[in-house]
Amino acid sequence: MNPGSPPKKNNWSWRSQAFRGVVYQIVAIAAITGVVWFLAHNTLVNMRIRGIQSGFDFLAQSAGFDIGESLYPFDSEESYWHAFLIGITNTLRVAVIGIILATILGTLLGVGRFSRNALVRGLCLTYVELFRNIPVLLQLLLWYVVLTEVLPASSEAWQIGHFFLSKGGLNYPIPVWATGQLWAAFGIVGSFVLIWIYRRWARLQFEATGQPRSGFWVPLLILIACSLIGWALGGAPTELNYPVRGEFSIENGGALTPEFLAVLLGLTLYTASFIAEVVRGGIASVARGQGEAASALGLNRNQEMRLVMLPQALRVIIPPLTNQYLNLTKNSSLAVAIGYPDVVSIANTALNQTGRAVECISIVMLVYLVTSLGTSLLMNWYNSRAAIKER
């Protein structure tokens, strides 16, 4: 027989914690709503007085300005939102490459702090302390000054084979787009599936027989083989667009501008020093007994790092590593000071041409929020896979 729960008594006096909680929340909501309404009211009044127009309709209008470098061609007659899209691709371009390079460099430096060799240890320590303690904007500007001062003028570019390096940037031969490349891309996608199948098979084999299979070289081989097969099936195009010395600069070919190189270099070196510290903290957090047990089992230092320390350290490393990835993406917004057309720079131009300050700045903030959200989601998924399952 279910006697039922006792009747709920609502105690409306100040002595009840629940009541106090409700009162606090009402006060907080009222205060914040009041402040937000006050700010919004002022904004609208001011905009009306000054004749500033508002609304997002400007996004459909023609942009009227060119963009110096972009992943794909942009014509000045296309709309503002197209320009913003180019800005976003520019930001992602430098962020993704920067994250990959910084992780590699940072891990090497972090592991290097535990090296047997005192010189290597000292170098890693010097690097980390030096690059951590100088503001990132200063580093970006320094690299830009160094690149534009040290590199020769475009008319006297350094040439190595078909590559040119000058103040105009790094010019390289770029394949002319044909169906072969498309098929190669399909091949790469197909190879991911094959690699996944291979890894499953390798893991099952290892658990059954104890025989380890190559975890890196065979997948790499599969990747290369599939892309070559795809390229061959697509007609095996070999035509390349070579850069040539023009009258004042290098023409044709693909180019990486000095702005892109400076931003990439500055961000990579800066973030790598932070990632090195994170990796060091992660490895230091693994109990010393693990390392000792590994050498008792006869693993050399390389194997010990790779098989015992790093996998355990990963759980401690991943949340702060996520932070550093987000920081790198956000620091790429400083490229506006150098002349790299990322999304902040495009928003700046749009803001000045249309006067819609609120809209442009909110677009920028929205872009970064979405990027942060995406990166956090990805790293949270990876973290939950690597997390220690607590009791």
- As measured in angstroms, the least distance from the Cβ of 307 to another protein is 19
Q: With respect to another protein, which residue has the nearer C-beta, 48 or 306? A: 48
| Residue of the chain from 45, 71, 197, 232 that contacts another protein (CB under 8 A) | 45
Q: With respect to another protein, which residue has the nearer C-beta, 104 or 130? A: 130
Q: Which of residues 60-79 bind another protein (CB under 8 A)?
A: 64-69, 76-77
Angle at 279 between CA 271 and CA 131, to 5 degrees: 30
Q: Which of residues 152-181 bind another protein (CB under 8 A)?
A: 153-154, 167-168
- As measured in angstroms, the least distance from the Cβ of 281 to another protein is 10
Q: Which of residues 4-23 bind another protein (CB under 8 A)?
A: 21
Q: With respect to another protein, which residue has the nearer C-beta, 41 or 200? A: 41
Q: Which of residues 330-389 bind another protein (CB under 8 A)?
A: 330-331, 333-334, 336-339, 341, 344-345, 348-349, 351-355, 357-359, 361-362, 364-366, 368-370, 372-373, 376-377, 380
- As measured in angstroms, the least distance from the Cβ of 137 to another protein is 5
Q: Which of residues 105-144 bind another protein (CB under 8 A)?
A: 116-120, 123, 129-130, 132-138, 141-142
Q: With respect to another protein, which residue has the nearer C-beta, 49 or 208? A: 49
Report how far residue 222's alpha carbon sits from residue 205's, in angstroms, rounded to the nearest whole number: 18
| Residue of the chain from 25, 205, 238, 290 that contacts another protein (CB under 8 A) | 25
| Neighbour-count burial of 217, counting CB atoms closer than 10 A to its CB (0-12 exposed, 13-18 middle, 19+ buried) | exposed
Q: Which of residues 278-317 bind another protein (CB under 8 A)?
A: none
| Neighbour-count burial of 268, counting CB atoms closer than 10 A to its CB (0-12 exposed, 13-18 middle, 19+ buried) | buried
Number of residues binding to another protein, judged by CB under 8 A: 99
- Per the CB < 8 A criterion, the answer to whether 317 and 274 are in contact is no
- Per the CB < 8 A criterion, the answer to whether 147 and 212 are in contact is no
Contacts of 316 (CB under 8 A, 6+ apart): 281, 282, 285, 286
- As measured in angstroms, the least distance from the Cβ of 309 to another protein is 18
- As measured in angstroms, the least distance from the Cβ of 175 to another protein is 21
- As measured in angstroms, the least distance from the Cβ of 153 to another protein is 5
Contacts of 365 (CB under 8 A, 6+ apart): none
| Neighbour-count burial of 86, counting CB atoms closer than 10 A to its CB (0-12 exposed, 13-18 middle, 19+ buried) | buried
249 binds another protein (CB under 8 A): yes
Report how far residue 255's alpha carbon sits from residue 261's, in angstroms, rounded to the nearest whole number: 10
H-state helical runs in the chain: 17-50, 80-112, 118-132, 136-150, 179-209, 217-233, 258-285, 288-296, 301-303, 310-331, 343-354, 357-386
